[in-house]
């Protein structure tokens, strides 16, 4: 079991950090199945990240003063139990509560794993493994979640975590750390942690908003959206060898990373059409930026600081506080923009229906059907196809109706894309803001 | 730090900035930023109105679309906003009803001036098919020469009388009920034809 401890503990770190964004692609499906509003479903994400951000530093403090193995094992067990509860949740409040408990267990699991990986694999390799697992988990989370939602169900996201977590419990208990050493507490590294916070807030937009745009705005399936957003992790993996090749130094890497994330988000705000191909280059920029910054900033925040577990806790706290900050800033902006986009979208649709080359009786029937769909979708981007399916058209009228449906869908895609523009631009601003703590002169490590 | 290292440290963010500029440049060149919903035309702008339908249905559709334009211009709202408002609120305001009637009457004038109003004889057969008249009377009217029908009935006059006779408020309320709508319009057209013929007779006498 001790031999399997390293991969199992790394997998646990990956899963817990993936959970921050793993439900992103499932949110529209959860919204449909459990009901509620967009701000409510955002709490499925916010609750996890908020609890993790608040609990992880105290959890790290406890792990620094007690044997981390049983604490880590207990954390993983709680995480597994809460994951099962998430899978069985029948209502939004139950799911949000279970997500909070998941984060509570996840906090102990994360910081415990840092100590245990360092004990098993050695200080340098253990920490590197912990950081890499976190970056991979964060980048892959939405993709895995989307594929599971698309192929099985949103509940599968939580079911698959249970067996891995169950196996990781004995793995954690098998590791024995050396005697607890009393060391002085060093202050957390402010600059890299603040930069991590701001970048995480910006990356939330990339992962959360892009997925919502693809699934809810453009009507793509979660599986297709998952494949589309897989560009981010692929580019993130490419960043490390690229940085090694360039040997530009930590500051240059993080500065370039912040610029790439900000540029990618700006590019998402200026998409020329709803073709998925246009999202590839912006995502590649974001992925490269993610790979260059998060890894480097985490290493920077941990370097030469003791106790290691506490500073690891600070990086996790900063990242997840950033996610909460991003959601808190961006959710009201894009929900208000989506609401404001309804009138221009309705007017554009009305113009197309009035001028459509269809007999008047079909136009009236279509207008009624479209109105019913808008009412049924309660403010979400509607699926217009049922209104067209109800029309009794002759063969000569079908091509015009099909063209009209395509044109109406295009207007909806345009309205949705425009509604996300401000949020992407704000997120780009947050990524640029992350440059500030990196530019400021660094203080020395103090206790 | 050696000069090579300094160069590398500066070059890396510069390369990132160039990469970002390239992506943004390509996107903007392909219409990035202009991917927004189509804007409504100004309410008083002249618009070419067409219909795929022919006969009375085509004429009615063109009249309604032009009338909607005229009403929107009078109310200083876009045609689309007015259409949505009329469709969504079951109780149109007096101002909306008056603007719609004025818009429809103006549409008749515009079509007459443009010479796009069909002569009455072109609409007679279809009107008789939809009417509840006795079969003998229908046959008798169909036997009349077009010139006689056109001199007795002027399309613009019939349309104006129909528009004035229509209860637009209840017409808007019945938009989703084709039978009720058709009954209302038939009754208004029949009355307009009768009134027009009576007025013509009065003029002749």
pLDDT at A446: 44
- Whether residue B9 and residue A251 make contact (CB cut-off 8 A), yes or no, is yes
- Closest partner residue to A267 among B23, B41, B78, by Cβ? B23
pLDDT at B101: 94
pLDDT at A442: 59
Strand, helix or coil for residue A388: helix
Tokens of B162: 């129909």
Sequence-distant (≥ 6) Cβ neighbours of residue A252 within 8 angstroms: B8, B9, B10, B12, B13
Query: How close is the nearest chain A Cα to the Cα of B25, in Å?
Result: 9
Q: Cβ distance A176 to A69 under 8 Å? A: yes
Q: Closest Cα to residue A158, out of A26, A9, A51, A10?
A: A26
CA distances from A378 to A165, A349, A365, B23, B196 (A): 39, 17, 20, 36, 49
When mean pLDDT is compared across A245-254, A272-281, B23-32, B175-184, the lowest value belongs to B175-184
pLDDT at A207: 79
pLDDT at A362: 85
Q: Cβ distance A340 to B36 under 8 Å? A: no
Which segment, A148-152, A209-213, B23-27, B138-142, is predicted with the most confidence on average? B23-27
pLDDT at A447: 43
- Residue B35's Cβ-side half-sphere holds a number of Cα atoms within 13 Å equal to 26
Average pLDDT of the residues in B140-169: 86
CA A347 – CA A349 distance, rounded (Å)? 5
Interface of A with B in 144-183 (CB under 8 A): none
Contacts of A348 in chain B (CB under 8 A): 37-40, 80
Interface of A with B in 247-276 (CB under 8 A): 247-249, 251-253, 255-257, 259-260, 262-264, 266-267, 270-274
Contacts of A346 in chain B (CB under 8 A): 80, 84
User: B89: left (phi > 0), else alpha (psi -120 to 50), else beta?
Assistant: beta
User: What phi and psi values does residue B54 have, to the nearest 5 degrees?
Assistant: -120, 180
Model pLDDT for residues B38-87, shown as the tens digit of each residue: 888 888 888 888 888 888 888 888 888 999 999 999 999 999 999 888 88
Q: Closest Cα to residue A341, out of A167, A250, A217, A220?
A: A217
pLDDT at A225: 86
Q: Closest Cα to residue A285, out of A259, A320, A246?
A: A259
**Average pLDDT score over chain B:** 85
- Closest partner residue to A359 among B9, B57, B175, by Cβ? B57
pLDDT at A379: 58
Q: How far does CA A320 lie from the centroid of its chain?
A: 10
∠ Cα A256 A258 A263 (to 5°): 95
Q: At what angle do helices A92-121 and A161-173 cross, to 10 degrees?
A: 40
Model pLDDT for residues B56-67, shown as the tens digit of each residue: 888 888 888 999
Q: What are the start-end ranges of the E strands in A269-341?
A: none
Tokens 């528009």 -> residue: B163
Q: Closest Cα to residue A211, out of A72, A430, A45?
A: A45
Average pLDDT of the residues in B154-166: 89
Tokens 């700006």 -> residue: A266
CA A297 – CA A242 distance, rounded (Å)? 17
Q: Closest Cα to residue A212, out of A306, A331, A74?
A: A331
Total CB pairs under 8 A between chain A and B: 147
- The full length of chain A comes to 447
CA max distance for chain A: 84
Interface of B with A in 87-126 (CB under 8 A): 87-88
pLDDT at A420: 92
- Closest partner residue to B13 among A259, A367, A371, by Cβ? A259
Q: Would you call A178 exposed, middle or buried from its count of C-beta atoms within 10 A (0-12, 13-18, 19+)? A: exposed
DSSP class of A35: -
Q: Which residues of chain A have pLDDT under 70?
A: 1-3, 177-183, 377-380, 441-447
């Amino acid at each position: 079991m001790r031999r399997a401890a390293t991969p199992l503990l790394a997998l646990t770190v990956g899963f817990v950090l993936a959970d921050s964004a793993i439900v992103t692609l499932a949110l529209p499906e959860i919204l449909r199945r459990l009901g509620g509003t967009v701000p409510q479903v955002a709490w499925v994400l916010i609750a996890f990240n908020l609890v993790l951000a608040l609990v992880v530093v105290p959890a790290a403090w406890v792990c620094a003063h007690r044997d981390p193995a049983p604490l880590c094992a207990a954390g993983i067990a709680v995480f597994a139990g809460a994951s099962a509860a998430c899978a069985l949740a029948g209502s939004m409040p139950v799911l949000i509560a279970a997500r909070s408990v998941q984060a509570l267990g996840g906090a102990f699991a994360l910081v415990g794993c840092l100590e245990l990986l360092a004990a098993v694999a050695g200080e340098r390799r253990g920490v590197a493994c912990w950081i890499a697992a976190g970056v991979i988990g964060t980048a892959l989370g939405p993709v895995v979640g989307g594929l599971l939602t698309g192929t099985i169900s949103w509940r599968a996201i939580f079911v698959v975590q249970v067996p891995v977590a169950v196996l990781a419990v004995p793995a954690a208990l098998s590791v024995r750390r050396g005697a607890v050493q009393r060391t002085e507490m060093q202050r957390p590294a402010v600059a890299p942690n603040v930069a991590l916070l701001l970048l995480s807030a910006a990356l939330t937009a990339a992962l959360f908003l892009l997925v919502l745009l693809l699934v809810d705005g453009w009507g793509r399936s979660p599986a297709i959206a998952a494949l589309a957003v897989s560009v981010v992790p692929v580019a993130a993996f490419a960043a490390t060898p690229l940085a090694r090749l360039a040997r530009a130094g930590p500051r240059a890497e993080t500065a370039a990373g912040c610029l790439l994330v900000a540029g990618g988000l700006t590019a998402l705000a200026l998409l020329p059409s709803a073709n998925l191909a246009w999202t590839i280059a912006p995502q590649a920029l974001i992925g490269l930026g993610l790979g260059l910054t998060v890894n480097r900033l985490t290493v920077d925040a941990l370097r030469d600081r003791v106790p290691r577990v506490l500073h690891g806790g600070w990086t996790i706290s900063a990242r997840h506080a950033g996610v909460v900050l991003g959601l808190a800033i961006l959710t009201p902006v894009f929900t208000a923009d989506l609401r404001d986009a309804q009138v221009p979208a309705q007017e554009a649709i009305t113009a197309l229906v009035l001028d459509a080359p269809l007999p008047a009786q079909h136009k009236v029937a279509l207008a009624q059907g479209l109105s019913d769909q808008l009412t049924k979708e309660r403010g979400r981007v509607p699926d217009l196809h049922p209104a067209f399916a109800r029309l009794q058209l002759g063969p000569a009228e079908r091509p015009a109706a099909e063209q009209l449906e395509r044109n109406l869908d295009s207007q909806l895609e345009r309205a949705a894309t425009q509604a996300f523009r401000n949020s992407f631009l704000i997120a780009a601003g947050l990524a640029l803001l992350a440059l500030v703590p990196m530019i400021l002169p660094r203080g020395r490590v103090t206790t | 730090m050696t000069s090579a290292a300094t160069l590398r440290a500066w070059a890396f963010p510069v390369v990132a900035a160039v990469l970002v500029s390239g992506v943004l440049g390509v996107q903007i060149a392909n219409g990035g930023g202009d991917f927004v919903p189509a804007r409504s035309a100004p309410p008083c702008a002249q618009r070419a109105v067409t219909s795929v339908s022919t006969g009375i249905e085509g004429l009615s559709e063109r009249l309604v679309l032009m009338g909607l334009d005229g009403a929107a211009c009078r109310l200083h709202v876009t045609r689309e906003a007015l259409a949505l408002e009329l469709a969504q609120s079951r109780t149109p305001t007096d101002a909306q009803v008056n603007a719609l009637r004025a818009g429809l009457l103006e549409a008749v004038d515009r079509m007459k001036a443009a010479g796009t109003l069909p002569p009455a004889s072109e609409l007679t057969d279809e009107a008789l098919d939809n009417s509840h008249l006795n079969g003998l009377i229908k046959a008798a009217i169909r036997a009349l020469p077009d010139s006689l029908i056109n001199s007795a009935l002027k399309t613009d006059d019939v349309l104006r009388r129909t528009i004035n006779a229509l209860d637009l408020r209840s017409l808007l309320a019945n938009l989703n009920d084709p039978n009720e709508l058709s009954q209302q319009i038939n009754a208004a057209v029949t009355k307009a034809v009768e009134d027009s013929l009576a007025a013509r007779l009065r003029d002749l006498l």
